[in-house]
Chains A and B, each alone.
Chain A
Amino acid sequence: MTKWKSLLGAVLASTSLATAAGAAELRMSWWGGDSRHTATQEALKVCGDKHGHVIKPEFTGWAGHLEKVTTQIAGGTEADIMQINWPWLPLFSANGEGFADLNTLSGTIDLSNWTDAELATTSINGKLNGLPLSTTGRVFFFNKTTFDKAGAALPTTWDELFGAAAQIREKLGTDYYPLNAVDETAALLVSLYTTQISGKDLIDPNSLTVAWSQEELARGIAFYGEMMKAGVVMDRETANAAGNVRLYEKPEWADGHIAGSYEWDSTFFKFSDPLKEGEVLVPVKLLQNADAVAEGVYRKPSMMFSVSKNSQNKEAAAQILNCLLNEKEGIEILGSTRGLPASKAAADQLKAAGAIEPALAEANAIVMAGTGPNVSPLNEHPEVRSIFLDTLEAYAYGQMDAETAAQDIIEGINEAIEEYRS
């Protein structure tokens, strides 16, 4: 009996010790590639040990992650810490109540590492829904080797791009294209050109309707048509011949037949890694013609870490977040696996250690130096994106003219985001 009593005493003592230390079992979910998966798991182990918590990792690739998180949130079974894409904010937290308000955890998370402007991008109705991880934007990546082979200089304006296309196709063959433009990239190129000639983002922030006039958007769409006609980009029927396959998986990308794209700065290595030996990819500033009224950079917080509003261990989750983003151990391990960190502590530490790849830094510098109207998260609302892409594809297949396409896009988007206006 005495033996049992002492055993029970030991168990109770250890339980109370654990409680006093706030030991918690947490779950964290994210999407990404192998390097991000490996680094995050290691960082969670180190930060968990440091703060006395155990964190179960749940990670996937990009495809299907939104669906997974949606299902989990709908069922109340989401992870305590989640990596959330910035455009998902209006979907999950239209009124700011969808995630835990991290302002209430500011005693644990050192929020001074972000500027007020940065925190405002992830706040809704004054509630801080997530910590910005990095700022990202679209830049041009060009395969310098292909341009060099054709004796063409890397373009700085749209006119120069058209000139380079003619030179490349004449010297290397008509199966060479200086730029890729399908699906989302095609839509964002049209957006870029339309923003440059109008000075406005797709969505007007006050009225929450499409800001572009039909004429402005029609000019942007017609510009895409001109690019296909001049062989700057592949026509859509040829591009679709590969089926549903990513640009960086295509042999034409690897061997320089498609010699450029307009992509997120943080994805530079995803596009440079598959290139054949000797092919050199470089980030290039946004192209614009002399009549542009804005540079039109498409810049936004790339993603954020949010804490579930249903989490039973918000304080412990905050400790882990602070460790991952603001403390030496977490910063060192995570490095730039989620782009160049927005946290000042992390950015300073990585710069001092020379841990940021020059090409990535250059691509990000282009994005950060770019100017243009603020980008609304509604640009990437699934319905908005779907209307834009489907209509643009119909235009590219010659099923409608640019004016009709512009009208369909404007009407469709205005209807799709009607609920956000009330």
Chain B
Amino acid sequence: MGGDNRFLGLAYVTPYLVGLLFFTAFPFAASFYLSFTNYDLLSTPDWVGLRNYEKLLTRDRTFDKSLSVTLLYVAMTVPLKLGFALLVAVILNYRLRAINLFRTAYYVPSILGGSVAIAVLWRYIFAHNGLVNLGLTSLGLEPVNWFGDPQNALFTLTLLRCWQFGSAMVIFLAALQSVDKSLYEAATIDGANRWHVFRYITLPLITPVIFFNLIMQTVQAFQEFNGPYIITNGGPLKSTYLLPLYIYDKAFKSFDMGYASAIAWVLFAIIMTLTLIAFWSSKKWVYYAGDRRS
């Protein structure tokens, strides 16, 4: 690359690099430092060593509760959302009339999904006198206390997350369309039914995309904030008090930014560990093109 071009390239990436340094790298490093301090936002951080981590991991009952709620939320949300997204993608992969319209329509909730307005709408739909209970009572069933019963509240938020399946669905759809059609034809000639084709041809060939979606959805689920903050504010009985809410409350309501940073780093460690486990296990179930096993 010539000298001029080299500088031109640097000029192009400079805005991104500046943003990355100031708005991601610096806060990232700063939060790590702050996690070892007692910092109330208004005075100078006071170094306390591992005290925040020690308290967090040994004496903080709220953290224990919040962590177990978060893990349960991730465990429910990720498989449900991926399964649903894959199911819709398979259906939308058929040659139907007005298929593009359907594809767009199913993607729309993802565009709206993370917004405050949709969270508020969700609150009304699942309220005691909301649309869902109206439907249940019209079928002669008992209304459900979706938000007031600690057993149901987290599941209701899980449904909101699953409703935003569009982006995962689009990626699945692209993967399904890239599967070599001749494999399907060969399998059909050999007498395979639809389930066999899906189970032994489609599914193995889209495992890289399943793996990608699994990682992305897991990370996003661990970071969920809007839904529980707006719909239930973490209640009742902290049954929807996900870790990001706890971090927020500690940082901006209790003015304990050092402790909040420590929670954030523990959350980071959990996500990182699960991601590494996923990568390690992927050797056993993800098949790439050119892979000796394929």
| Chain B residues within CB distance 8 Å of chain A | 41-42, 123, 126-129, 145-150, 230-233, 235-238, 249, 252-255
Q: How far is the CB of B261 from chain A (nearest CB, A)?
A: 14
Q: Knowing that A67-B252, A70-B252, A244-B231 are A-B contacts, what are 19 other residue pairs whose CB atoms are under 8 Å apart, sorted by A's residue number? A: A70-B42, A71-B252, A73-B41, A98-B42, A241-B128, A241-B146, A241-B147, A242-B147, A243-B123, A243-B232, A244-B123, A244-B147, A382-B253, A383-B254, A386-B249, A386-B253, A390-B238, A393-B237, A397-B236
Q: How far is the CB of B290 from chain A (nearest CB, A)?
A: 51
- Cα A397 to Cα B126 with chains together (Å): 21
User: In the complex, which residues 221-267 of chain A have their Cβ closer than 8 Å to any Cβ of chain B?
Assistant: 236-245, 251
The 6 A-B residue pairs whose C-beta atoms are closest, nearest first, are A240-B148, A241-B128, A241-B148, A67-B252, A74-B41, A244-B233
- Cα A74 to Cα B251 with chains together (Å): 12
- Cα A70 to Cα B233 with chains together (Å): 21
Chain A contacts for B146, CB-based, 8 A? 241
11 contacts across the A-B interface (CB closer than 8 A): A73-B41, A74-B42, A237-B148, A238-B148, A239-B148, A240-B148, A244-B147, A244-B231, A244-B233, A251-B129, A386-B249
Chain B contacts for A368, CB-based, 8 A? none
Chain A contacts for B254, CB-based, 8 A? 382-383, 386
Is A271 interfacial (CB 8 A cutoff)? no
- A interface majority secondary structure: helix
B255 contacts A243, C-beta separation under 8 Å: no
B123 contacts A73, C-beta separation under 8 Å: no
Is A7 interfacial (CB 8 A cutoff)? no
A240 contacts B42, C-beta separation under 8 Å: no
Is A91 interfacial (CB 8 A cutoff)? yes
User: In the complex, which residues 371-422 of chain A have their Cβ closer than 8 Å to any Cβ of chain B?
Assistant: 382-383, 386, 390, 393-394, 397, 399
Q: Which of B42, B149, B249 has the most CB of A within 10 A?
A: B42
Chain A contacts for B237, CB-based, 8 A? 393-394, 397, 399
Is A66 interfacial (CB 8 A cutoff)? yes
Q: Which of B145, B233, B238 contacts A237 (CB 8 A)?
A: B145
Q: Which of A70, A71, A242 contacts B127 (CB 8 A)?
A: A242
- Cα A240 to Cα B236 with chains together (Å): 7
Chain B contacts for A238, CB-based, 8 A? 128, 145, 148
A393 contacts B236, C-beta separation under 8 Å: yes
Q: How far is the CB of A344 from chain B (nearest CB, A)?
A: 33
Chain A contacts for B252, CB-based, 8 A? 66-67, 70-71
Is A92 interfacial (CB 8 A cutoff)? yes
Chain A contacts for B235, CB-based, 8 A? 240, 244, 393
A71 contacts B148, C-beta separation under 8 Å: no
- Cα A383 to Cα B253 with chains together (Å): 8
Q: Which of A92, A237, A240 has the most CB of B within 10 A?
A: A240
Q: How many residues of A contact B (CB 8 A)?
A: 28
A240 contacts B253, C-beta separation under 8 Å: no
- Cα A394 to Cα B235 with chains together (Å): 11
Chain A contacts for B231, CB-based, 8 A? 243-244
User: In the complex, which residues 71-103 of chain A have their Cβ closer than 8 Å to any Cβ of chain B?
Assistant: 71, 73-74, 91-92, 98
Chain B contacts for A239, CB-based, 8 A? 148
Q: Which of B128, B129, B255 contacts A70 (CB 8 A)?
A: B255
Given A242-B127, A244-B230, does the pair A236, B236 have CB atoms closer than 8 Å? yes
Chain B contacts for A236, CB-based, 8 A? 148, 236
- Cα A43 to Cα B245 with chains together (Å): 38
Chain B contacts for A66, CB-based, 8 A? 252-253
**B248 (CB) vs chain A CBs: closest residue:** A67
Q: How far is the CB of B167 from chain A (nearest CB, A)?
A: 26
B41 contacts A71, C-beta separation under 8 Å: yes
A242 contacts B253, C-beta separation under 8 Å: no
- Cα A225 to Cα B8 with chains together (Å): 71
- Cα A184 to Cα B80 with chains together (Å): 36
Q: Which of A98, A245, A382, A397 contacts B123 (CB 8 A)?
A: A245
A91 contacts B255, C-beta separation under 8 Å: yes
- Cα A71 to Cα B27 with chains together (Å): 14
Q: Which of B123, B233, B255 has the most CB of A within 10 A?
A: B255
- Cα A402 to Cα B104 with chains together (Å): 55
Chain B contacts for A399, CB-based, 8 A? 237
Q: Which of A67, A243, A382, A394 contacts B126 (CB 8 A)?
A: A243
Chain A contacts for B41, CB-based, 8 A? 70-71, 73-74
Chain B contacts for A92, CB-based, 8 A? 42
Chain A contacts for B249, CB-based, 8 A? 386
Chain B contacts for A382, CB-based, 8 A? 253-255
Chain B contacts for A386, CB-based, 8 A? 249, 253-254
